[in-house]
Structures are given as structure tokens and as C-alpha cells.
Copies of this chain bind each other. A is one copy, B any other.
Amino acid sequence: MLYIVGLGLGDEKDITVKGLEAVKSCERIYLEHYTSILTVPTDRLEALYGKKILLADREMVESDLNAILKDADSINVAFLVVGDPYGATTHTDLVLRAKELNIAVTSIHNASIMNAIGCCGLQLYNYGQTISIVFFLDNWRPDSFYDKIKQNRAIKLHTLCLLDIKVKEQSIENMARGRKIYEPPRYMTVNQAVEQLLEVEEKRQEKGVYSPTTIGVGMSRIGAPDQRIVCGTLQELLEADFGEPLHSLVLAGEMHFLEADILKTFAINVDTFNQYAQVSDH
């Protein structure tokens, strides 16, 4: 059996009771650690499970599924994913490959950023499509998210922005020379994301998409005791401190007044919130 187990968002105790029982029954345990991270080091997980964890990097998951699935028709193998098992395409690859090999798969769900953002007060059913913001490079500044935000905001919906994570990346030079030397991990901050959003807005300037006075919500370490939820105009969020990773950002669309009531409790400045929030009373 292959167990694909969501770990949730915070620390080792965010695994479910069912997930923990499954992991304890496994002979090999992989942790996918390149699309998201927990707020605690891996040894805290190992202590709770009483088992050794193997780290699965992108290279392994994208090129060597057979190694992960080896003997999983006769023994139990766990593949641990921060958040819910189905947040990233690569894990559907794993499920498909297991099905081809006639290996039974059990998924154990958990919270992910896609639903945990409900804690800021903006209702999940009022979100449009989710966008990703990647680190801009000198000569690569992809802005296709702008069109998606435009579509969402045209129909008044909120937009969750997932922020880039670079783990075990090679520099172009090291890659060219075939040297397996990796850069230190980088996690995009809310501030960097807002800066890039505003740069693209400066360039595109299409009507009614967003602007420095659009209300956003920056969030960090959701599910951890030191989580932060800070609401403000994009201009205000540029300077706000969100602490350690991971960070996420939401662009607010039109809010129901009950959504605004909650969100306001996280405002940097209630006056600017009241001035710029788009609130409906129905």
C-alpha cells in the first residue's frame, strides 16, 4: 500500500491520528520537501513517528517514481506531503504510476493553504482561480498572473497568490558545468510579492485590475503559534513584517460586510481599510 499523507501546515502534530497510524505501519517514509515546508525541522517528525524519514527532492519525485514505489505492492510505503496530498501536479503523477503498477493507494487528507486561508475572514467560496508569483530574474519577469487577477477581479472575487519557493536550485553556471552545488533555499516574502505585483501594474496599467490602494492580506506560518495575518493596502503591505516563511498573499475582491468585519480586525490602519475596501451589504 502507498499512503499519501497530508501533514497539514504547522508542525509535526498537525498530522491526523489516521495519518500517524498509517505512517507508523510503513517500512519506508518519504517527505516531499520542495513545494512547501513545515515550521519545524524533520527530526521533530521522526521523533513523533519513531521512524527515519527519507527526503524526496524534485529530481527524485519527477524522475524516479519507481524507487519510491518499490515493493509497495507488498509493504507499506508513506509519501508525506506538507498540506494536502493533492496540492501539486507531481503527486497525481505518483498516483497514476502506482495505479499502473497495481499498487493500492490511500490518501489521507489534511489542511492546505488553499483552505486554511479561510482564517483571514474572506470566505473560501468567494475566491477565484489561484495564481503563483515566481521570483523575477533580470531577464525573466513572467506576468501571466496579471491576466488571471484581472479575470478574478472583473467578477469581484478574491485571489490567493502562492509565493515562490526555491529549494535545491542550481545557479546557471553550476548547472552549465554539471556541478551538483545548490543555492541556499529562498522563500518569497509578502513584501517581495507585492513589489513584483506593483512593478507589473506599473507596466501594464489595465483598468480595474489592482493598484497600490487595493486591499490585500499578507499571511505567514498559518497554523503555527506565531502565525501572522496582516491586512492593508498593497502600499502598506510593502513595509509590513511577516517574519519567517512560508508567506502567502490574498488580494481582496468585493467583500460581504461580514467578511469585512473580520478582515478589519487584522488591518494595519482601519482608516485606510475603510477608505479602500470594496464592501457590499448583500
Q: Which residues of A pack against B, CB within 8 Å?
A: 6, 8-18, 20-21, 48, 83-87, 89, 92-93, 95-96, 99, 107-112, 114-116, 118-119, 121, 123-132, 151, 155, 157, 162, 222-223, 258, 261-262, 265
- CB pair B116–A109 under 8 Å, yes or no, is yes
Closest to A83 in B: B115
Shortest Cβ distance from residue A123 to the other chain B in the assembled complex, whole angstroms: 7
Cβ distance A274 to chain B, nearest Cβ, rounded Å: 17
B110, A262: Cβ atoms closer than 8 Å = no
The verdict on A124 contacting B119 (CB below 8 Å), with A129-B157, A258-B89 known, is no
Contact indicator B14/A109 (Cβ below 8 Å): yes
CB distance from A136 to the nearest CB of B (A): 20
Q: CB < 8 Å: which of B21, B115, B125, B157 contacts A84?
A: B115
CA distance A95 to B222 in the complex (A): 16
Tell me which residues across on chain B come within 8 A of A125, comparing CB atoms. 114, 129-132, 162
Question: Once the chains are docked, how many angstroms separate the CA of A83 from the CA of B112?
Answer: 12
A265 neighbours in B (Cβ, 8 Å): 96, 99
10 A-B interface contacts by CB (under 8 A)? A12-B17, A13-B18, A13-B21, A14-B18, A15-B17, A96-B261, A110-B110, A114-B115, A128-B128, A151-B155
CB of A78, distance to nearest CB on chain B (Å): 15
Chain B's closest residue to A92 (CB) is B262
Question: Which residues of the other chain, B, contact A127 by a CB distance below 8 angstroms?
Answer: 129-130
Chain B's closest residue to A263 (CB) is: B92
Tell me whether chain A's interface is mostly helix, strand or loop, or mixed: mixed
| Residues of chain B lying within 8 A (CB to CB) of residue A8 | 16, 109-110
| Interface pair B132/A129, CB less than 8 Å apart | no
The reply to whether B99 and A109 contact each other, CB–CB distance below 8 Å, is: no
Which of the residues B15, B87, B109 comes within 8 Å of A9, measured between beta carbons? B109
Chain B positions within 8 Å of A18 at CB level: 10-11, 13-14
Q: Which 8 A-B pairs have the closest CB atoms?
A: A86-B118, A109-B111, A125-B130, A13-B18, A115-B115, A13-B17, A114-B115, A109-B116
Given A119-B85, A124-B130; A111-B157 close (CB under 8 Å): no
B87 touches A118 (CB 8 A): yes
Chain B residue at minimum C-beta to C-beta distance from A109:
B111
A157 (CB) vs chain B CBs: closest residue: B129
| Other-chain residue from B20, B48, B115, B155 in contact with A111 (beta carbon distance below 8 A) | B115
Contacts of A157 in B (CB 8 A): 128-129
